[in-house]
Structure 1
Amino acid sequence: MNQRSLLVRAIWFLAIGWWATPIVVNIAWALNVTVILAPIGIKLINLVPTVLTLQEPRSFTAPAAARGQHSLAVRALYFVGIGWWLSFLWANLAALLAVTIVGLPVAIWMVNRLPFVTSLYRFHG
Structure 2
Amino acid sequence: MKNTLDENKPIFLQIKEQLEDSIISGNVKAMERVPSTNEFASFYQINPATAAKGINELVNENILFKKRGVGMFVTENAKELLIQKHQETFYENFILPIKSEARKLRIDKEDLIAMINKEADSNGN
Tell me the TM-score normalized by structure 1: 0.29
Q: Which structure: larger Rg?
A: 2
Greater helix share, structure number? 1
Tell me the TM-score normalized by structure 2: 0.29
Greater strand share, structure number? 2
